[in-house]
Amino acid sequence: MKFDGLLKALEFVRNRVHRELPLQQLHLFLIVARQQGITMPELMAVLDMPQGTVSRNVKALSHYLKWQNGIAVPHGRGLLRTLPSADNRHVLAVYLTGRGEALLEELARCLEGSDEEAGLPSSGFCRWSTVMAGNREHARPLSHRAW
């Protein structure tokens, strides 16, 4: 079937990250993977989401500590991290963590060979995600490291 590769990838992410990972968070993760260093305002524009929704989803995909009974308890999925933007220290830029990079590479391997089934050129996940998002100029190779 035409969408077998996409279904395979979604099942992989649900099993690898969390069974109830919202599609909104997966979409945000893939946008950051495609354009590491994207700022929060840029994410708001690309995803057409309000600031609070983008912040909440970035936080859920990041690693953070929450105090419970005087003890710092780790929360979040640990896939993203934020740093002040190089252009404006008051704006946060979003990057994949090592765990996020590893997930992206596993997802790319999961999708290998699925391009032909989906009727796309055979060139791996980066081309697939770019075609799905409709934005070729921001494509990044999987080996890209922001730091």
CATH of 4-135, one of 3.90.1150.10, 1.10.3720.10, 1.10.10.10, 3.90.199.10: 1.10.10.10
DSSP 35-68: STTEEHHHHHHHHT--HHHHHHHHHHHB-EEEEE
pLDDT of residue 114: 54
Query: CA-to-CA distance for 35 and 95, rounded, in angstroms?
Result: 8
pTM for the structure as a whole: 0.70
Mean pLDDT of the region 43-57: 96
pLDDT band at 121 (very low <50, low <70, confident <90, very high): very low
3-state class percentages of the chain: helix first, strand second, coil last, to nearest 5: 50, 15, 35
Mean pLDDT of the region 40-61: 96
Rank 15-29, 86-100, 125-139 by mean pLDDT and report only the highest: 86-100
pLDDT of residue 8: 78
Average confidence score pLDDT of the chain: 78
CB 39 within 8 A of CB 93: yes
Q: Is the dihedral of CA 8, 142, 103, 133 positive or negative?
A: negative
Q: Is the pLDDT of residue 138 over 60?
A: no
Mean pLDDT of the region 115-131: 46
pLDDT of residue 1: 57
Residue with the bigger pLDDT between 38 and 133: it is 38
Q: Is the dihedral of CA 139, 13, 55, 134 positive or negative?
A: positive
Mean pLDDT of the region 12-36: 86
Q: Is the dihedral of CA 107, 113, 119, 125 positive or negative?
A: positive
- Write down the domain spans for the chain: 4-135
Mean pLDDT of the region 107-130: 56
pLDDT band at 19 (very low <50, low <70, confident <90, very high): confident
